[in-house]
Amino acid sequence: MINTASILHSIKRFWLPIILAATTALTTVACNPSNFQTKAAQVPQMVVAVLSEPSTFNSALNQSAYSVFGFIYDSLINENPLTSKLEPGLAESWSVSENGQQIVIKLRSGLKWSDGKPMTADDIVFTYNEIYLNPKIPAPLKELLKVGESGALPKVKKLDSLRVEFSIPEPFAPFLRYVGGIPIMPAHALRESVRTIGSDGNPEFLRMWGTGTDPKTIVGNGPYVMETYVPSQRVIFRRNPYYWRQDAEGNPQPYIERVVWRIIESTDTQLISFRSGQLDNLEVPPEGFSLLKQEEKRGRFKIYNGGPDTSTTFISFNLSQAKNPQGQPFVNPIHSRWFNKKEFRQAIAYAIDREKMKTNSFRGLGELQNSFVYVKSPYFLPPEKGLKVYNYNPEKAKELLLQAGFKYNEQNRLVDADGNEVKFTLLTNSERKVRQDMAAQIRQDLDKIGIEVNLQILSFNAYLAKLKNTQDWDCYLGGFGGGGIEPHGASNIWRIKGASHAFNQGPQPGDSNITGWKVSDWEKEIDRLYVQGAQELDEEKRKEYYYQYQRIASEQLPFIHLVQQLDLQAVRDRFLGIKYTALGGPFWNLYEIKVTD
């Protein structure tokens, strides 16, 4: 699962991100980098990898953390991950009204799309008014733009060919960061598809730029364009000749001519590929760290340690009591009664030995995680201020279960008040070995308190479809890409009607036949706190709103947090200009990185 912040993170991870998320890793076995350097193309290149193939080439519709958009789009405004300060991107400058409710953004003059057509204020107005704010287009990033209790969206108007004004009806603290970070799309290439309505009543835009589209026809404004895409194997990007950046001497940037993005759906295989020299960068898995550390000098690479990763790792129970369009409950009603007991969720949290998980699954390369908010964020609530922590205590777990009406049968297995044996299925994805190790331990830990756990391990896209579409799951082990220090990036997870409110997913656009959806009082209170936190411009008062939400979340446990791994990245020594940070990764400034051979 991902949130809208992590969608933006996946778009901008390689350079100056507004909202940051998890890094991509490396990939396949049959493709050596030398295979891409033909006689006609001995050019500077970088070979990186990713755990899953892209689900779309249409950035407005993307719901996957594994996307091509970080290469082919730039932002209006960028956040420097070293300083957290906003810096000009496609926008030359911006101004904010005294009340924070109007923002005027001025584009750089002479900007061009990757097909050579001019980029102007018309593209910004088109992107917002006809795509992101269009009620017929289910753009996930729309969630970030909703303001206040009413969910009002900004108004966007053109002032002249380079200037656009954004306005909102009330204060909204993260407004500038989100407006500046959302990808702008080309009006000349997409306007007709947005305005043409198909036989199903939806804009043709919803069928535009799928992964079956010729990648050369995808128009962007970032440092690279797509050259080729081979499903399940690789995407090759080449430098965008119309990209705006250049160095002090007037040389075009980026300096790296080609990026090979290999699709390797296993961290084990990625590790093998990196050790054999086929990859230039690796998100170091815990199981591979000690081996790689010994090989740094011989392998001519460096392992960077950014401390705790910005992402989250957890298990979450499906609290939905709703029924699908066929009138069938998404969750077995017997299971639903268990899952919706706070004491049950707390007992599960106490029953999982996270220290053991940190030692075994993460090889000690992690920290116990207790909140959805990044531990280095000023909005993180420390335990001494009220964050509830669930350290391993199986006896406490049993005590809570007995208090909640469960009991143990003659075989010492947990049963509910009606005699139903407590068992459920834990869903996770197959690409990360550490996830499978964690799932295996959770099964063992819960068996010790009499609960049977069955594992269901799927490919990432199948896993995501089950969570987002069919919604017929009991419990899942997953994570969200980090949103940096701004907690509002997770609003689509915590707001009741958010598209990623997966633990109790409400009807989404087009889901009118879903019935029986119920929302708890604590969900409503968190929803209210998120609204107030975004409306408040005073930073100290904002902290209190997000502190209170974390107090509620740690009591109610829609997410049972596990272990936060360290952000470890191995990068070949031949790259000059690396300015590593956990918030931005090794290549956030890719445009200025050079290759020495």
Q: What is the pLDDT of residues 274-330, one digit of tens each?
A: 999 999 999 999 989 999 999 999 999 999 998 888 889 999 999 999 998 889 999
**Total length of the chain:** 597
Fold of 3-309+568-597: D-Maltodextrin-Binding Protein; domain 2 (3.40.190)
Contact 292, 284 (CB under 8 A): yes
Average pLDDT over residues 149-161: 92
Contact 588, 581 (CB under 8 A): yes
Dihedral sign for Cα 276, 282, 288, 294, please: positive
Share the mean pLDDT of the chain: 90
Of 480, 487, 459, the closest CA to residue 548 belongs to 487
Q: Please determine, for residue 143, whether its predicted confidence score (pLDDT) is greater than 90.
A: no
- Rg (alpha carbons) of the chain, rounded to whole number: 24
Strand partners, 258: 45, 238
> Rounded to an integer, what distance in angstroms lies between the CA atom of residue 180 and that of residue 86?
9
Q: Where in the chain is the domain with CATH 3.10.105.10?
A: 314-561
Q: Which amino acid is at 235?
A: V
Per-residue pLDDT at 509: 66
> Rounded to an integer, what distance in angstroms lies between the CA atom of residue 314 and that of residue 447?
19
> Rounded to an integer, what distance in angstroms lies between the CA atom of residue 474 and that of residue 111?
49
Q: Does pTM top 0.85 for this prediction?
A: no
> Rounded to an integer, what distance in angstroms lies between the CA atom of residue 222 and that of residue 184?
10
CATH code, residues 314-561: 3.10.105.10
Of 143, 184, 84, the closest CA to residue 486 belongs to 84
Contact 259, 224 (CB under 8 A): yes
Residue-wise pLDDT tens digits, 193-239: 999 999 989 999 999 999 999 999 999 999 999 999 999 999 999 99
> Rounded to an integer, what distance in angstroms lies between the CA atom of residue 49 and that of residue 268?
12
Q: Where in the chain is the domain with CATH 3.40.190.10?
A: 3-309+568-597
Q: Please determine, for residue 11, whether its predicted confidence score (pLDDT) is greater than 80.
A: no
Q: Please determine, for residue 7, whether its predicted confidence score (pLDDT) is greater than 50.
A: no
Contact 174, 534 (CB under 8 A): yes
